[in-house]
Amino acid sequence: MHIRLRRLVATVIAVAGTSLAAGITSAQDLNFGKSTWLTQANCAECHGWMGDGVQEDPRAPRGANLRETTLTAEQLSEVILCGRPGTDMPAFDPRAYTDARCYGMTRAQIGDLAPPLAQQQLTKRHADGLAAFILSEFKDKGPPTRALCQALLGATADRCKAHR
Ligand code: HEC
């Protein structure tokens, strides 16, 4: 009985340790994704700082509303690295379509549907971070409000005056 109890306690500690480690990793992903969104990639040009698909640059194509995305983390990450064929969503992996890494297709196979290559280069780590950030900050959070905008961009951000 005592031995079984000890084993049980050991198992509980091991499981708790694993989920604690997973929690720390995803918090790191999230912070990395947030800083990538804010400082390292030009996603906002087309998607808007609040991800609602209202582009910051009026000359840029209108991006998808990421607040209403139905994609999983893995799918988000893939779209970021590979772009979306046949649309203006660029591929941020500089090696996209050089081999089968993107949707199993090379540039020769995808032909005219190849999305543009982004000027910036992002790694899988960036893309996974952005996916975690989109799921936690944007998805199902409703339309952006001034409070949400200030929480992301800072209380003094002029950009947030556009929101109520
Ligand atoms: C040049 C404009 C442009 C830039 C820059 C851009 N996107 Fe996009 N993005 C688009 C467009 C347009 C679509 C919609 C494609 C379509 O019609 O399905 C899109 C779609 C997406 C989708 C798919 C959403 C869904 O639910 O289907 C994700 C995710 C995404 N973008 C994330 C990003 C991220 C993250 C960045 C920055 C690293 C970024 N985009 C940069 C234009 C852009």
If one residue of 34, 36, 46, 125 were mutated to test the ligand 1 pocket, choosing by the most ligand atoms within 8 A of its CB, it would be 46
Q: Is 82 in the pocket of ligand 1 (CB under 6 A)?
A: no
* AA letter at 33: G
* Residue ranges, the chain, pLDDT below 70: 1-25
pLDDT at residue number 128: 97
Q: Is 84 in the pocket of ligand 1 (CB under 6 A)?
A: yes
How confident is the model over 29-74, as pLDDT tens digits? 899 999 999 999 999 999 999 999 999 999 999 999 999 999 999 9
pLDDT at residue number 31: 94
Query: Is the distance from CB of 60 to CB of 45 less than 8 angstroms?
Result: yes
Q: How far is the CA of 36 from the centre of ligand 1 (A)?
A: 15
Q: How far is the CA of 119 from the centre of ligand 1 (A)?
A: 14
pLDDT at residue number 61: 94
pLDDT at residue number 22: 59
